[in-house]
Every structure is written in structure tokens, then in C-alpha cells.
């Protein structure tokens, strides 16, 4: 399990020296992420990607749930009141069988639910989830990550944010290394666990 450590560095020169020290300490480049203001020259640094700097994943997850539920509700309503094949009572009769009548046998319920409109309800739930995830991720990609909001002011002033993912067993070692070799850097905290998706 890894932990994410946050450090603020005053400038790009300090960030490049820190990157070199971390590589010498055998921290892989894939676990070192820098965030700077938009026009900064990040050459020589491993810049954080869009998944780490935006709310795209959280937004997509919320859109998937909301869109899926919305699609399911619309699909069930369509199956009940606008049947594709058969009489208009087949959708309502299946619903009544589920909630009220103990006299319905399993075979009757299965035959009522096997009609194409119930398959359409499932398809609408899946399509609603996909549409919700896509549209929400388009919005979320423009929103800054909630984890990084507290650093926006410092980044806007030209400081560089270092996000470092290290094994739990090396957290103290890396903190000591950065404190001794980079006194200009400011320790900004530790996340309990690195997010499964940045």
C-alpha cells in the first residue's frame, strides 16, 4: 500500500533538484507528480496527468449512477405503460404480480417479464449510465480535483506542488530526506492511502 505525500516547493529549480534526489533515492518516476501553474516550463519534471489534477473520475462515477438510475426508471415506466409487443396490460400485470398477488406462479411472472419491453428497460438503464458517465466526465474534466483545492493559491503564486506516492515503510525516510536536502520545501501532509484512481 502506498501513501501520497504533498510538498510545496518554491520554484522550478528546487523542483528539478528534488526530482533528481527522489530518483537517486529509488522512487520511480511514475510515483512522482508535479503540479504548477499553466504556463510553467515543466521540462525535466514528471507532470501530474489530467486524472490527478481534475475531478473527471469522481464526476464520471456520479454520472454513471445517476444516469443508470434515471435510465432504469424511464425504462420501467416505458415497459409498464408503453409495451412494445402484446397487450397494454402485460407490463402492469407483471408489476402487480411482484407486489400483490400471491396466486401468480413463477412461470406466469417469468412469461410476463420475458416480454421485449423489459429487455428495453435494461437497455435504457445501461444507455442512461453510459450517457451520464460521459456527460459528467466532460464537466468534471474542467473542474479541479477536490484534493488539490487547498493548493490553488500557492500554485497561482508560482509554487510547485509535489505529490509523491511512496510505500508506507518509506514515508519517514523520504520525509527526512526532503527535510534535510530541501529546507526550502514545505511539508503539506499525507493522504492515508493513494487513491485507486488518482
Quick check: pTM over 0.75?
Answer: no
Contacts of 120 (CB under 8 A, 6+ apart): 75, 78, 79, 84
pLDDT of residue 71: 92
pLDDT digits 0-9 by tens, 119-130: 788 888 999 999
pLDDT digits (tens, 9 = 90+) for 21-61: 999 999 999 999 999 888 888 888 888 888 888 888 889 99
Residue that wins the pLDDT comparison between 93 and 76? 76
Residue 118 pLDDT > 80: no
State the cell numbers at 1.
Answer: 500500500
- Grid cell locating 78: 416505458
pLDDT in tens, 6-32: 999 999 989 999 999 999 999 999 999
Q: What share of the chain is helix, strand, coil (3-state, %, to 5)?
A: 60, 15, 25
Nearest to 159 by CA among 43, 9, 42, 6: 9
Distance CA 33, CA 17 (A): 14
pLDDT at res. 193: 64
pLDDT at position 160, please?
A: 92
124, 131, 132: which is closest to 78 by C-alpha?
Answer: 124
2-54+144-191: which CATH number, 3.40.470.10, 3.30.450.260, 3.30.70.120, 3.40.50.2030? 3.30.70.120
DSSP label of 169? G
Measured in residues, the chain has a length of: 198
**Residues 6+ away with beta carbon under 8 Å from 176:** none
Mean per-residue pLDDT, 87-94: 55
141-171 per-position pLDDT tens digit: 888 887 888 888 888 898 999 999 888 899 8
Domain locations along the chain? 2-54+144-191, 56-140
56-81 vs 116-140: helix crossing angle, rounded to 10: 160
Amino acid at each position: 500500500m502506498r501513501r501520497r505525500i504533498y510538498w510545496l516547493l518554491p520554484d522550478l529549480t528546487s523542483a528539478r533538484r528534488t526530482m533528481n534526489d527522489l530518483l537517486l533515492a529509488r522512487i520511480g518516476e511514475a510515483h512522482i507528480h508535479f503540479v504548477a501553474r499553466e504556463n510553467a516550463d515543466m521540462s525535466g519534471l514528471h507532470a501530474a496527468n489530467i486524472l490527478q489534477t481534475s475531478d473527471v473520475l469522481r464526476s464520471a462515477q456520479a454520472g454513471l449512477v445517476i444516469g443508470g438510475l434515471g435510465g432504469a426508471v424511464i425504462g420501467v415506466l416505458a415497459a409498464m405503460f408503453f409495451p412494445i409487443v402484446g397487450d397494454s396490460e402485460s407490463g402492469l400485470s407483471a408489476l402487480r404480480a411482484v407486489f400483490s398477488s400471491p396466486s401468480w406462479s413463477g412461470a406466469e411472472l417469468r412469461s410476463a417479464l420475458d416480454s421485449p419491453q423489459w429487455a428495453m428497460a435494461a437497455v435504457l438503464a445501461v444507455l442512461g449510465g453510459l450517457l451520464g458517465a460521459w456527460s459528467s466526465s466532460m464537466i468534471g474534466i474542467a473542474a479541479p480535483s477536490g484534493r488539490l483545492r487547498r493548493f490553488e493559491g500557492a500554485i497561482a503564486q508560482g509554487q510547485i506542488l509535489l505529490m509523491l506516492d511512496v510505500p508506507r515503510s518509506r514515508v519517514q525516510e523520504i520525509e527526512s530526506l526532503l527535510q534535510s536536502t530541501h529546507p526550502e520545501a514545505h511539508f503539506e501532509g499525507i493522504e492515508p492511502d493513494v487513491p485507486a484512481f488518482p
